[in-house]
Chain A
Amino acid sequence: MNTALIIIFAVVIFSSFLGIYAGRRVKMNLENWTVGGRQFGIIIIWLLMAGEIYTTFTFLGASGWAYSKGAPTFYILIYGALAYTLSFFILPALWKVGKRYSLLTQPDFFIKRYDSRLLGVFVAIIGVFCIIPYLQLQLKGLGLIVEVASNGAVNPNVAIGISFILTCMFVYTSGIKGAAWVAIIKDVLMILAVFIVGIGVPYIYFGGFGKMFRTLIEQKPNFLVFPGAESSMGVLWVMSTLILTGLGFYMWPHVFGSAFSAKSAKIIKRNAIIMPFYQIPVLFVFMVGFTALLVIPGLKDGDMSFLALVHKTYPPWFMGFVGAAGAVTAMVPSAILVLFASTLLAKNVYQDGFNPQMSEEKVMTLSRFMVLVVMTFALIFAIFFPNELVPLLIFGYDGVIQFFPGVVLGLFWKRVSKAGVFCGIIAGVSVLLILILGKKDPFLGMNAGFIGFVVNALITFLVSLKTKPATGGFK
């Protein structure tokens, strides 16, 4: 066994036990399991939300895009700041209705606001469809990281399998609190790794990031302005993608749901203020990707650039450290994703759709069982269809933004109607599917999800004007 492997293994095991330990004194009911009994203070909320944002995709994807696409990668630095700004205005209002009506999930919100269980089931199913590929991506990223970090000693499927069992264990026992606790380790390791490598590699190879950028500009004069290396990613594409991801971010069922775990509306508001600081490490991830392009050009897969450069530059034990950080970085979002997918299936699809009389205890048991089902599905996809889900993943972000009109109008506009929201979502998703399946994305230089969203918002608005306002409503 090599050093790197021992480090990765130790960190992953320790994190999982911490996650299991987190739930030891909590009497598990659905509210405690899914939203931590609405008791999280500012630090734990910050860690939790950061845990959701910093996924393996940030780690590998942001450096990968810096390496292969250039300037378009900058959108990853921006969209978080937009999402948090928006959350400053939306989440406190959302938290309040969540508290008042004991909402746990995003479909709960739709059911209560629009007085329609059918709409809830519909939203839940779309939500789960969007989550699975995201989860699969995390698992795949984890396999990749462990494989490279261990220098090929560990088969990626074995790594995925082990972390799959461990993640299931701490989600099963501790719910969201387990994920929040593991997020502490994840954040410390991740930030350390990103800062050390991000500051280190430009310095080691060029004597500083300024000189690195100068070399890059000399070699590729247009690489650091839009559209970079990808002609389809012009400034219009960047702007539409920013709107899509900035507005869509809090529409992810798991991010939406974790807003309910805060102790008060004030905490969620203060959290929105400090969240943008968490974007800064992304800059250092870019530095790694850019440096890698100059030092080790010609990699087939840009997403490997971060790991490949660390491998070339640092001793094996440090590779182990990066690998451990990367593995835990995949486990935390996986845990939260699987937690909310399971609750959506058990509570909103099964209970609301087929068996409204089901007791809360039984819903809880079913949710826990669903953890295994959802994870197994993602695992099968990750191992047997590693590439087939890429179109579905695009559908993920494009899909969740279709909830935006229903949520925001639901909070702030009395006139919005059930029919409006139904028609809007159906229209938005249809436009999206037509554009993506017809290979028309980007369309007129804009992101297809953005177009679907605009159609959706318009239809929701127009149909709402022509129909009766929703009867549910919040006072």
Chain B
Amino acid sequence: MQKGTKYALILGAIPFITLVFALPLVNRIEPIILGLPFLLFWILSWVILTPLILFIAYLLEKKFNPPEEEDE
């Protein structure tokens, strides 16, 4: 597997860890943050962070993987 793809996959695992597997740990109302109950705040934060995570994954792939001819 190419190095960039590997980094991207590791980053890609983050939303699955935070938004699926961590749910039993964050299933609570307190503390209320920015007016949102904690569970909802947690979910919203990671949903908003997902594009950022994917963007970094995209940059890493671009940096470490050789450019592909079919990509244009």
Contacts and interface: CB of A to CB of B under 8 A. Distances in A.
Interface size class of B (residues with CB under 8 A): 35 or more
Given A88-B57, A224-B40, A265-B71, A213 B9 contact: no
A226 interface: yes
B5 to A, nearest CB: 8
A265 B24 contact: no
Interface in B55-69: 55, 57-58, 68
B7 interface: no
B23 A225 contact: no
B43 A270 contact: no
A85 B23 contact: no
B27 A225 contact: yes
Contacts of B39: 71, 74, 224-226
Contacts of A217: 29, 32, 37
Given A78-B47, A208-B35, A225-B29, A239 B55 contact: no
A81 B51 CA distance: 8
A313 to B, nearest CB: 20
Contacts of B28: 225
B54 A84 contact: yes
A235 B55 contact: no
Interface string A193-213: 000000000000000111101
A208 B35 CA distance: 9
A88 B62 CA distance: 13
Contact of B48 (A89, A99, A225, A280): A280
B58 A269 contact: yes
B40 to A, nearest CB: 6
Contacts of A275: 51
Interface string A67-83: 00001001001101110
Contacts of A88: 8, 12, 54, 57-58
Contact of A77 (B8, B15, B44, B55): B44
A269 B4 CA distance: 14
21 contacts: A74-B39, A74-B40, A77-B47, A81-B50, A85-B16, A85-B50, A88-B12, A100-B70, A208-B35, A209-B36, A210-B35, A213-B36, A213-B37, A221-B29, A224-B37, A235-B24, A239-B24, A243-B20, A264-B72, A270-B58, A276-B48
Interface of A: 71, 74, 77-78, 80-82, 84-86, 88-89, 96, 99-100, 208-211, 213-214, 217, 221, 224-226, 235, 238-239, 242-243, 246, 264-266, 269-270, 272-277, 279-280, 283, 286
